[in-house]
Amino acid sequence: MKTLLQNFRIVDASIDAIGAVILHDEIIRDVWVKGEAIRYDIGRMGIDRVIDGGGLTLMPAFIDMHAHFRDPGFPEKETLESASLAALAGGYTTVICMANTKPVIDTFEAAQALKHRSNALRLIDLYPALALTRSMAGTELASGFSALDLIRTSALKDIALGFSWPGPRYVRLCSEDGKDVADDALFKEALVRAAALRLPVSCHCDAGGHEALQAWEAGQPYSIWSRIEENVATERAIRLGREAGAHVHIAHVSTKEALARIRAAKARGESVSCEVTPHHLCLTESDAASLGSESYGRVNPPLRNEEDRQALIAGLVDGSIDAIATDHAPHTSGDKEHGSPGFSGLETSFAACFTELVGKGHLSLSRLSALMSVAPARLLRLFDRGAIEPGLLADLVVVDTEAVWHVDTALFRSRGKNSAFSGRALSGKTLMTLHAGSVVFDRGFGAKL
Ligand SMILES: [Zn+2]
């Protein structure tokens, strides 16, 4: 099937121009922008479907390196289906889901089973993160990292990627997200094994050692000792990653000091990357206080101060921060009232970032696209997506950059209604999402075609 998307403002990391795109089944066949000669006689191309943007914006769909789908094990919070629908509503078609489910995803077989269940829904492209230790107990390596597994998986050559890939395709990232591996030797061993599989390790960075403990024992407030915790743990993850020869990806960086450590490691040429969440970019501890610091405003790491927030924005501007990831963490309202940390973030991520970063002139829309699509694609070695280029997967999102809307969590596809942006007015709305050339989400835009 051939689809023509015309009269769009086409924006990715390297394009921002009015133009058109032709899809052939699941692949982007051609892209042209105004001023370029149209290379085809559209009438003779046998176009089956035309989507006219009327000046709306077409971007590569977003790629989330960090979400909690709560499946298997916590259907009251979220399921594969509800999370996938939330992802699509937010413009995401590729998501890495964290392993802290019940049971924990700590074997290649469990990751493969989850991937198969997700594929059967035909909604998004899900990649389960693999836990570093068995049951995330922090006492022994997950079986995916056993010597036997390494030998077995190294036999799987991934010809489709054009190079020898020592691990299975459905695992792109390892993470003990939710906590760190406390034991240095075990953490380092996991990093060595992940490096052998060429898998980046996403680090949660909350093991603050005796420095954070001292601050806690001295009666320092949470805002102080949790900051020390993150800073010390970031330093530790970078050091152990360097010693192990692994690629360390720092999840949800939130303090200016942690960012400075990452920036310094990058300046030394170390294999380090990091992500930031929309809530840490847009909100501070005063927002947490008004939401309820111990309930609806609680998140790990906590919302920090204005100086940190400005430092994170500066980190996006100067390229120290590689990607934006949601840390989508759905909970029931009962769980939030009892202090479960995290926000339901997939459905507000683009609008929150667009409002704060593009709307206030910090970043261009192209740069935001890079942070939400091609940069995570490259970190995950998913070279077939993340941009609007011939030959890439037709994973696309139509956004209305003029729209202003109020966040109503009752309308969320996610079962988690715990949004940090609830009731806020945001600009920029996702209207339609295509995955592999198929329209998989449509907010009514299609009806107007
Ligand atoms: Zn997380």
pLDDT band at 166 (very low <50, low <70, confident <90, very high): low
Q: What distance in angstroms lies between residue 147's CA and the mean position of ligand 1's atoms?
A: 28
pLDDT band at 223 (very low <50, low <70, confident <90, very high): confident
Q: What distance in angstroms lies between residue 204's CA and the mean position of ligand 1's atoms?
A: 7
Q: How far apart, in whole angstroms, are the C-alpha atoms of residue 282 and residue 82?
A: 25
85-89, 194-198, 329-333, 339-343 — which is least confidently predicted? 194-198
Predicted pLDDT at 154: 56
Predicted pLDDT at 167: 62
Checking if the pLDDT of 294 tops 50, the result is yes
Predicted pLDDT at 389: 97
- The mean of the pLDDT values for the chain is 92
pTM for the full predicted model? 0.95
38-52, 361-375, 389-403 — which is least confidently predicted? 38-52
Q: Where are the CATH 2.30.40.10 domain residues in the chain?
A: 2-57+402-448
Give 212: exposed, middle or buried? Use CB within 10 Å, 0-12, 13-18, 19+. Answer: buried
Class of the domain covering 60-393 = alpha beta
With a pLDDT cut of 90, the percent of the chain lying above it is: 82
Q: What distance in angstroms lies between residue 21's CA and the mean position of ligand 1's atoms?
A: 35
Predicted pLDDT at 391: 97
Q: What distance in angstroms lies between residue 105's CA and the mean position of ligand 1's atoms?
A: 14
Q: What distance in angstroms lies between residue 186's CA and the mean position of ligand 1's atoms?
A: 21
Containing 433, the helix (H) or strand (E) segment is: strand 425-435
Q: How far apart, in whole angstroms, are the C-alpha atoms of residue 400 and residue 12?
A: 15
60-69, 203-212, 293-302, 380-389 — which is least confidently predicted? 203-212
Checking if the pLDDT of 152 tops 80, the result is no
Among 360, 70, 366, 434, which Cα is nearest to 352's?
360
Q: For the segment 400-412, what is each residue's pLDDT rounded down to a tens digit?
A: 999 999 999 999 9
Q: For the segment 335-381, what is each residue's pLDDT rounded down to a tens digit?
A: 999 999 999 999 999 999 999 999 999 999 999 999 999 999 999 99
13-17, 224-228, 314-318 — which is least confidently predicted? 224-228
Give 283: exposed, middle or buried? Use CB within 10 Å, 0-12, 13-18, 19+. Answer: buried
Question: Which amino acid type is present at position 389?
Answer: E
Checking if the pLDDT of 25 tops 80, the result is yes
* CATH code for the structural domain at 2-57+402-448: 2.30.40.10
Q: For the segment 313-338, what is each residue's pLDDT rounded down to a tens digit?
A: 999 999 999 999 999 999 999 999 99
Q: Where are the CATH 3.20.20.140 domain residues in the chain?
A: 60-393
The answer to whether 323 and 376 have CB atoms below 8 angstroms apart is yes
Predicted pLDDT at 165: 52
- Which residues are known to be catalytic? 327
Checking if the pLDDT of 259 tops 80, the result is yes
Q: What distance in angstroms lies between residue 177's CA and the mean position of ligand 1's atoms?
A: 5
